[in-house]
Structure 1
């Protein structure tokens, strides 16, 4: 059987001259470069520790500092009812600081700097990188097909960009916007490329159950519908081969109330059931999250409640690590078996006091009723928990330069403290700091 990646590379090499000659391929192209400087540290408190994957030594502090460059070329499409295009993304990183004793496992932990070896059990790399490539087709102006490396943004598969370099998935994907307000999307994922990976053949799996060589693919499809500026709905379904079927429903409503006032509310629901060989055992999980919020000028206040209604955690595709439920946070996902979570969030826009571009987000989350006494072997970390509790406090400050040569230069300071109580042993006591500087360049506009 032919290797599809080699066939794709050969097709691109043979067809690129013809594509480039086509009107629209370069005329509508975009070339962007993002510089990202990222420092991340985790200070383990009380009796919490992490284990060095190279030496096995127990440590209480880990820290990494790295610089990344993400260069993205997105072509336009050749003219006609069938347009052809090409996307190429180069991702490169350099370790600035972080010895073997402080770098995480490049997996969950910090995840900025990869370690050598398939199991991330080697020394931290000094430099690393990869190239994402995707061939794309446009049909009748409203349908796009692509094969190659892609970053889906679906409730059931949302590629992560919370570390130095973004995650991507390899496979075939589609997107259609034929009906006004309605977007249809889906695809078949064959493999993943993690946030710190240097290849594209990573095994699929789940964030809390690990990777599985027996899971051949992930297939998903979904619909997003925006009725108007107030109402937005999402319905998506995904199947991780021999692990689960997962359905997600989102509903969001925003209502202006008058000068500077607004109300918003939303609901998110996930239904997860095991399928095929049930590699993670029996799963019968219903998880939901609802919020209400009020904005008044520069201020916004949001109250959220999340429930995990099953003897398993709310799980999701391997290392996508994004905010699927409203209470997903910087350190914890607040998704443990049978957990109930409340969150209070406050946003402030400093433009109100003459500092446009400066934003503050403060959040406090508290989770209770964690009970993993009946979890299956795939989630063994929860089996000894009967009355778990924990809380997290986040302070996020960001500033975007508004004008001048440094326009869009962004500074972010993200600090979080997490503490576990009761018999909640599945998570650690951590103080975490992230310092991020990003400078995007649109080379088409220089």
Structure 2
């Protein structure tokens, strides 16, 4: 799952279309080497998950917690494009994870591959490459890549991210309009090295985002995942300035998902899938403070299903740190508060807390399942000096349910300590 995804598309469009270019991106190409970029992100992650109910947790009755610590290296190389009508370039991804602490009795965090003996590997690595072509402002990429489409999004919530294999076309020929079309044949899981670890056979996606103004955008996407389901997704994002230091942001997301009747979905739910999942959020910002309220509902048959099409493919407001609140018939409310300390003279320091309560979940044990989650987060990013952009983050989540709504787990306390340092080498 991925946190606070619901406005990412609108933000990306606003950033990419803030001004009308006279010449196309390919016309302005400086060359294969001249426009190359090499970045390495260092990620140090301590992950602790305490299952408070030993009798009812996915690790089994003899194991009540999972705790591991690792160091990740996320390297990406992006060449420029050759000059001419058709530009050619290459991208490469190199990922390495090292275990710093954790034994057989504490495995199961999802940071590392786990062997048949239940012990996590000491290290693992994976990588890949892609070739890309550009005509005007349209790019075709073939090979390994990260994706952030609402119907096909790779997850990056652990030590190393998921990686997709396939073809993606991205077009920005019209101001304010971004179009995507893709064909993907496999996904490598976050803690896996096998290219087919998520059992994706084929996924086809198409859609786009259009910014009517700097403050209003909309998105529409479609996907077909072979042997699983087809999805429609729509989004409307509207930012309403009130004054220089006040504003409102409204965000609406909806998925319509239907399984194709094959047996593969049984791995998720055991039933045919035909549902709608939507969320509506409103955020009020005044100075350093942001207050957010959100409502989410799933209706129809089955939970909102995702994962084989990417662990980040849930652009709903109440998909948060631990639970997605996406069970069949579930309704959920969220209250959130953000504080930006830059206003008080400490730029780079921020705090967040939120509470989500879900009711009416139709699960194996009941048709009125209830769950709640409280998250607290503090983050600091260095603003200057030799370690500029080095970030420190602490995230704590408390989850409770009397009905085993989330994968049969009633009570979870979770802690993540994350240190990240992005290095720009080229």
CA offset at residue 190 of structure 1? Answer: 0.5
**2:132 equivalent to 1:136:** yes
**Aligned position for 1:46:** 53
- Match for residue 396 of structure 1 among 377, 395, 416: 377
Asked whether the equivalents of residues 204 and 317 of structure 1 are also in contact (C-alpha less than 8 Å), the reply is: no
**Aligned position for 1:267:** 252
**Aligned position for 1:10:** none
TM-score (norm 2): 0.88
Q: Distance in 2 between matches of 1:122 and 1:439?
A: 31
Asked whether the equivalents of residues 186 and 222 of structure 1 are also in contact (C-alpha less than 8 Å), the reply is: yes
Q: Distance in 1 between matches of 2:82 and 2:167?
A: 20
CA offset at residue 163 of structure 1? Answer: 0.6
Asked whether the equivalents of residues 358 and 400 of structure 1 are also in contact (C-alpha less than 8 Å), the reply is: yes
CA offset at residue 194 of structure 1? Answer: 0.6
Asked whether the equivalents of residues 386 and 423 of structure 1 are also in contact (C-alpha less than 8 Å), the reply is: no
**Aligned position for 1:114:** 113
Asked whether the equivalents of residues 272 and 302 of structure 2 are also in contact (C-alpha less than 8 Å), the reply is: no
Q: Unpaired runs of 5+ in structure 1?
A: 1-21, 105-109, 206-215, 372-381
**2:82 equivalent to 1:78:** yes
Q: Distance in 1 between matches of 2:259 and 2:126?
A: 34
Pair 1:354–1:346, CA change in 2 (3 A):
same
Q: Distance in 2 between matches of 1:75 and 1:111?
A: 32
Q: Unpaired runs of 5+ in structure 2?
A: 1-28, 266-270
Asked whether the equivalents of residues 31 and 442 of structure 1 are also in contact (C-alpha less than 8 Å), the reply is: yes
RMSD: 1.8
Asked whether the equivalents of residues 48 and 66 of structure 2 are also in contact (C-alpha less than 8 Å), the reply is: yes
Describe how 1:29-428 pairs up with structure 2 within 5 A: 29-47=36-54, 49-50=56-57, 52=59, 58-104=62-108, 110-116=109-115, 122-139=118-135, 141-204=136-199, 216-275=201-260, 277=262, 279-280=264-265, 281-318=271-308, 320-321=311-312, 323-371=314-362, 382-422=363-403, 424=405, 426-428=408-410
TM-score (norm 1): 0.84
Asked whether the equivalents of residues 387 and 423 of structure 1 are also in contact (C-alpha less than 8 Å), the reply is: no
Q: Distance in 2 between matches of 1:243 and 1:176?
A: 28
Kindly indicate whether structure 1 or structure 2 has the higher relative contact order, using CA contacts under 8 Å at least 6 residues apart.
2
Asked whether the equivalents of residues 76 and 94 of structure 2 are also in contact (C-alpha less than 8 Å), the reply is: yes
Asked whether the equivalents of residues 220 and 238 of structure 1 are also in contact (C-alpha less than 8 Å), the reply is: yes
Q: Distance in 1 between matches of 2:409 and 2:295?
A: 20
Pair 1:116–1:352, CA change in 2 (3 A):
same
